[in-house]
Structure formats: structure tokens, C-alpha cells
Structure 1
Amino acid sequence: MTAHPTTAFTGADIFTGHTTLSGQALLMQMGKITGFCPADQLPQNAKKIELQGGLLAPGFIDLQVNGGGGVLLNEAPCAEGLATICKAHAPLGTTALLPTLITDSPQVNAATRAAAREALANDTLGFLGLHLEGPHLSIAKRGAHAEELVRPMKEQDLQNLIALKQDLPVLMVTVAPENVSDEQIRRLSEAGIYVSLGHSTAGFARTSEALAAGARGVTHLFNAMTGLGHREPGMVGAALSNGAAWAGLIADGYHVQKEMLNLALRAKQGPAKIFLVTDAMSTIGTDMDHFTLNGRRINRADGRLTLENGTLAGADLDMISAVRFVINELGLSKEEALRMASLYPAQAIGLSATLGQFSEGADASILHLSYDMQINAVWIKGEQAA
């Protein structure tokens, strides 16, 4: 039997997800990380990939991606649509993602669930599972979600979600605590579903109850939820003060002002962290100036996506741009910015043993970055994707 050769990446510093190594080689075999060694002591017969400086880092993980490459999941709920979205984000550093379905009809929901099962069977590169954002949201805080489709969760909805999770590695659902009960949250959580709270008028107390019932955190912190108040801390206050609550954050300077981003990062209690999400729409990787969602025109201009009335409708953002934003605008270290895009989302979904860091047995999903955070190359599970 012929042994599978080791591939050794040399010539760049290595950010493991925890610390930065110099003078070391990153070792990969059969799409998995096998460890590190001094760059001048490579295993015998290793295939050498010699890089000219820069930084190797774990691939990004995006838990909220509505579209990319000209495709919006709501408009293309099929396996081909999922593959296009994953492929569009790979050159921008995202090596694992949750395609996200915004509130839609039962027919589109059913098609998306079938497509997810097919994408998984096809081993679609970068496909991690689904994020279903709605329809069990607050009408008052629905944002770009269609009002006529927003509704409370019923028993059949819950059963459908539990059945879907049995087929997917990761299933995230965004719900408003006023449209789901604590018992429903508990049952979803016990089935392994990541319950995230958002698009909600719930205050601090109701949010805290939902978190205690099994919700894991909140969706796009600050956006479409009750904000910080000195007498009512709101959903934002509950997320920041609860050490077990994770929070996704859209760091583009439009969804949340940078002063509030810095305040949230300083205030967040742990061990759960704030991680970056893009909330990206179909525009990523294209020159589109508009697209359609649930029959409504979404305009793209000046880094923003808006309905005709000016309401933000997703984000014109990719993950490497979000990483650069928190470094350049918020003053975060490169290491912490990279953790927010890789290690922390992996920890949030319970997959940090295989994603978000370089450790033995982890997926060889690797970025080669310049020190000013430009992407030179991308590998997903050992396969070069960009």
C-alpha cells in the first residue's frame, strides 16, 4: 500500500488560531492538518509548497450568507444555487459557510431543505449546513423580511426543523422570542439546532429567559433588536452580559457605527464571544447594482444594500473586508480579527476540533494572506480553491 504523501507549507508565518509561529512548516495529509515542524526538518518525501512571506491562517467561517456570485438563496433554492454561493465566497477567504434563507414561502422553504440535503450528498465544497432566518420573527422588527410571511412557530414547523437537523451537520435558526415559546426553544436546542435570537422586540428579561431555555446567542448584534437603554438593557444588553451567549456582528460601518462596535467588544462577557458574519447578498463577486428579494427591488450603492424606502437589506460585505475593517477601523490585532472570522464561529457551532484552527486532525482549510490582509491563495480541505 502506498502511503499518502505529506504536503508542507513553508516560507510564511503561521497563525494557528491561537498564536503565531515563525520558522515552522504547516503539514497536511489527505485534506487534514497533521501538525507542524521546523521548516528545515521536513518529513521525508514531503511535497513542498514554498510561499514568499505572508501569513497562513485558518479559513474563515461565515454563519450568515444570503447569497453570492449573482445568486440569492431565496431566488435559487437548489443544490446548484448553494454551490454557486459557496464558490463565490471561497476566493474571499470563506472556506465554510451557512447559506441563509430569509423568510419565504413554505414552498421555497421546502425546496431549500431538499437542496441542502442534495448539496451535502454532493460534498459541495464549503457547504456546512443551513441558517434559516425566519419566518418566526417580530413583524415590528422584520427589516427586509416580507410582513405577510412572518408568523409564530407551530408544532409542524418544529418537527420539520428537527427532521432537517438529522440530515445536516449544522442547522441554525433565527427566531424572535415573542413568536416562539421557551418549550419550543428547548426542544430545538435538545435536537442539536443552534437557536439564535433576532428580529425581535423582546427586552432584557424575555431574551434572558430564551437564552436560559437553550438559545445560543443573537443574530447580527444591534440590528433588528431592542437596543441598550439605561433602564431597559434590551436584547443587546442580554447578549453582552450573558457569558454563554454568542453574537454575530456585521462589521461594515453601516449596520453598526464603529464606536458602538468597540463598546460591544469591550463589554462582552465570556467565554462566548462576538464573531463576524457578512449577511452577504447575491452581489458578492459581481458588479450587480440591484437584485430582487420576495418581489422587491434591492439597490446596491456606496457599500450598502437597501430597499426603496432605505431599509438595509443584507450587506454588501465579504469576510476578508470585515476582517480588514475591525483591524483598520477598530484597532483590533490581526490575530483577534482572524479569530472573530474563524475560531469563534467554529466554537459557537461546536466544530472547533475540525474548523477555525490548525490542530492535528482539523480540516486543511487554509488561507495564505499578506500582512495587509490581502488573500493570496485558499485551500479547502486540502484542495486549492483560489
Structure 2
Amino acid sequence: MNDLLALAANRIFDGEGWHDDAALLVRGDTVEGIVSRDRLPPGVELCDTAAEILAPGFVDLQVNGGGGVLLNDHPTVEGIETICRAHARFGTTALLPTLITDLPDVTAATIAAGIEAGKQNVPGFAGLHLEGPHLALTRKGAHDPQLIRAMTEADLAALVDARRELPTLLCTVAPESVTPQQVAALAAAGISVSLGHTDTSYATAIAYVDAGATLATHIFNAMSQLTNREPGLVGAALDDGRLFAGLIADGYHVDPASIGVAVRAKRGPGRIALVTDAMSTIGTTMTEFTLNGRTIYRKDGRLTLADGTLAGADLDMISAVRFMHERIGVELGEALRMASLYPAQAMGRADRLGTFARGAAADVVALSHKLNVAGVWIGGRKISPVS
């Protein structure tokens, strides 16, 4: 019996370039290759998706919640499953559930849940992102200032231990609360270190990149800005090719003009990766929820505290892709790379994610000509329903 499946659409984007009149070959949970439709292997099962585009599933580095669940409130395997399922509807096939600054026991429970989710191969789960508590009070954003603190050696040891059992661990930290030596130890353990929620100078940011930091968390937001004599973390993220930079592309967190400037200015090989910074509202009709005991209000595409402070985003990944392509004018292939290949590269998983190279995970999103999600496959299995 031939166990090959051929997925066909008008066009296939493989993570790098385009293929017309072709089919994506999938064997089990793995990509076998891309062939012309007139050269399908004998006996292969052909599935014509009737979609305009097949592309690698989206990869999201920063997802606080979805489907009515906030990870901080539900640090369980079930909570992780709900979040992953909610975002699959919008084309995200691999994500890092993200814990916002919280109490140590909540962090420990989240790590334990992430380890178990990895063991259970929860569809869409790619690891964890711990955003805090080792941040700067001056750039706290919506993080509870009473929970922000410096990293201890015990914190460091716990993170190193966690990485041994997690597929990916990303930590957002601020130079104000961690030392270069701690960053070096995290990086040596295989932990991805992102700089964020900080008022650091450009020179200090570069010193932390030298120590092992490889990302900047949601560029422009909750960080030192680019000015005439002090480039800040924004300047470091754009100027230093060793840094990837997450971007919340909803038109509220960053002005479209600033997004355009950043896209044109970013030095590689590190690129700008789209992140949703999504909260529990995604996939629901919720109008408010709580975070660390404070009410977050949902209105007109924004999530805010009572004082107007942005608190995460009411954003899914396909909406971010459309925004980059239609509003910012980014070429469609590049917008898709920003949602798949670049975040996969940022967490060191580009051999399996964000690509249709042979041997990659068979994570696929099918898109209509209007860039709506028409189908999703995770590990070669179709996720239903997607609407």
C-alpha cells in the first residue's frame, strides 16, 4: 500500500520560493518533497485542496492564550491543548505557549505542564516562552510590578533543568534583572534568550548579545527606543544581524510607518518574525478577562488595562500576515516567511518547521485567494474544523 499523500493547490510556497502546478508529497508526519502534478508517483493519493496557496504552517513565538484560556490561569496540559487548538484555526501549527510574569509556583506548574505536553505530543505545542519575571520595572507594560524581580541562581538552575525536558525554551529577560553571566549560562544550556521589557542602552544590549541573547521581544513595545544619540534596544535589534525581532503587526502596537521602516532597516541574518502576543480572546466572543487580578478589556481590536495600557494583543497569525502584505506592502512570500521560516529559525527549529524541505514536519496551511485559512494539517493530519 502506498502511504504517500499528495496535497495540491494552485500554488505552493515552500518557505523560500513558489511552485505552480505542483503537489506537496507527505509521508506520515513528514514532508517527502514537491513534484509537478503530472509527475505524481504511481498510486499516490491525490488531495486537491481547492485552495489558492499551500504554505508551511505558521510558527508563533509568543502566545499567551486562546480559546478562552490564558496560560497564567490554566498552567496545565489541557490549557496548552486548548490554546494550540484555538490558534490552529488561524494557520498556526507550532507555537510557544507564553507565561506572563507570575508567582514561582505558577511558573513551576507551567514548566511541568509543558514537559508533559511534549511527552504527549500535543498537536501544535513547540515548547514554552517564559516572559518574565526578570524584567525592568520601568518597562513593565501589563506585567504585575509586584512580581518582577532579579534572577537568582536558583531561578537559573530551574530553567537549565527545564530545558533538558522541553523541545524549546525561550525566556524574555531584561539586563536590569539578569547578568551577562546568567545569559551565557542560559544560552549554553540551549535556552533561547530574548531581550525585552527593558530600558537598556544600545551598548548594553550588544554586550548581552555577545553573551548569547538572540532575540528582541515585540520590537518597539516595552523597550528603549531609537533616538538620535542613543539607539536603545530598538536600534540594536535592527542593527545587529545576530538578533531576531518579534513584531506584533496589528496596527495598534506599532504604527504602520514604523513597521515599514523596521522591515527595510533590519540587518540579517536575523530577521523580523511575526508574533501574535495573543490572549485568551482568540477564537471567542469574550469582551474582558483578568490577568494577575486585573481586568483586561477587549474593544475595537485592542486589549487594554483600565488605564489604556496595552495588555497583549487581540490578533491571530493569518491576520498579521494579511496586515503585512496588504497594509505594509510586504511581498506575500516574505510575509509568509515572517510567520513561519523566520520564527522557526529564531528558535533553532528551521530543519523541521517553517519549510517544505524534505524531512520537515508536514505542517501545512491552505489559503484562499483572499488569504483566509481554508485548511490546516499538523504532522500530516488534517485539523477539523478550521472555521
1:203 aligns with 201
What is the letter of the counterpart of residue 184 of structure 2?
R
> 1:123 Cα deviation (Å)?
1.0
Q: Is the Cα contact below 8 Å between 1:5 and 1:45 reproduced in 2?
A: no
For residues 141-220 of structure 1, the aligned pairs below 5 Å read 141-220=139-218
SS at match of 1:195: strand
Instruction: State how far apart, in whole Å, the 1-side matches of 2:50 and 2:158 are.
Output: 50
Q: Cα deviation per residue 1:94-124 (whole Å; 9 max; x = unaligned)?
A: 0000000000001111111111111111110
**8 Å Cα contact 2:201/2:232 also seen in 1:** yes
Aligned pair partner of 2:345 in 333, 344, 347? 347
Which residue is equivalent to 1:278?
A: 276
Q: Secondary structure at the match of 2:139?
A: coil
Aligned to 1:308: 306
Cα distance in 2 for partners of 1:274, 1:10 equals 29
The residue aligned with 2:115 is 117
* Matching residue of 1:320: 318
Deviation string 1:178-233 (CA, Å, 9 cap, x unpaired) is: 11000000000000000000000111111111111100120000000000100111
Q: Distance in 2 between matches of 1:19 and 1:46?
A: 24
Counterpart in the other structure of 1:63: 61
* Residue aligning to 2:103: 105
Aligned mates of 2:188, 2:292 — CA distance in 1: 32
1:49 alignment partner AA: C
Counterpart contact for 1:197–1:215, Cα < 8 Å: yes
Among 41, 44, 47, the residue aligned to 1:43:
41
Q: Which residue of 2 aligns with 1:29?
A: 27
Q: What corresponds to 1:249 in structure 2? A: 247
Write the distance in 2 (CA, Å) between the matches of 1:53 and 1:188.
43
The answer as to whether partners of 2:2 and 2:44 remain within 8 angstroms in 1 is no
Q: TM-score by structure 1 length?
A: 0.98
> Which AA in structure 2 matches 1:358?
F
Aligned match of 2:377:
379
2:337 paired with 1:365: no
Query: Structure 1 residue 53: deviation in Å?
Result: 4.5
Whichever residue aligns with residue 351 of structure 1, its letter is: R
Match of 1:79 in 2: 77
What is the rounded CA distance, in whole Å, between the counterparts of 1:11 and 1:223 in structure 2?
38
Structure 2 runs not aligned, ≥5 long: none
Supply the distance in 2 between the matched residues of 1:371 and 1:336 (Cα, whole angstroms): 17
Give every structure 1 segment of 4 or more consecutive aligned residues whose post-TM-superposition deviation is greater than 3 Å: none
Q: CA deviation at 1:4?
A: 5.2
The number of residues matched between the two structures is: 384
Equivalent pair of 2:118/2:167 in contact (CA under 8 Å): no
Task: Supply the AA of the counterpart residue of 1:203.
Answer: S
Q: Give me the whole-angstrom Cα distance separating, in 1, the residues matched to 2:342 and 2:114.
A: 24
CA contact (8 A) 1:200 1:225 kept: yes
3-state secondary structure, aligned to 1:92? coil
User: Would the aligned equivalents of 1:307 and 1:313 in 2 still touch at CA under 8 Å?
Assistant: yes
Alignment of 1:327-338 (within 5 A): 327-338=325-336
- AA partner of residue 374 (structure 2): N
In structure 2, C-alpha distance between the alignment counterparts of 1:121 and 1:26, rounded to whole Å: 28
- How far apart, in 2, do the equivalents of 1:217 and 1:98 lie? 14
Structure 1 gaps of 5+ residues are none
Name the structure 2 match of 1:288: 286
Q: Distance in 2 between matches of 1:222 and 1:266?
A: 15
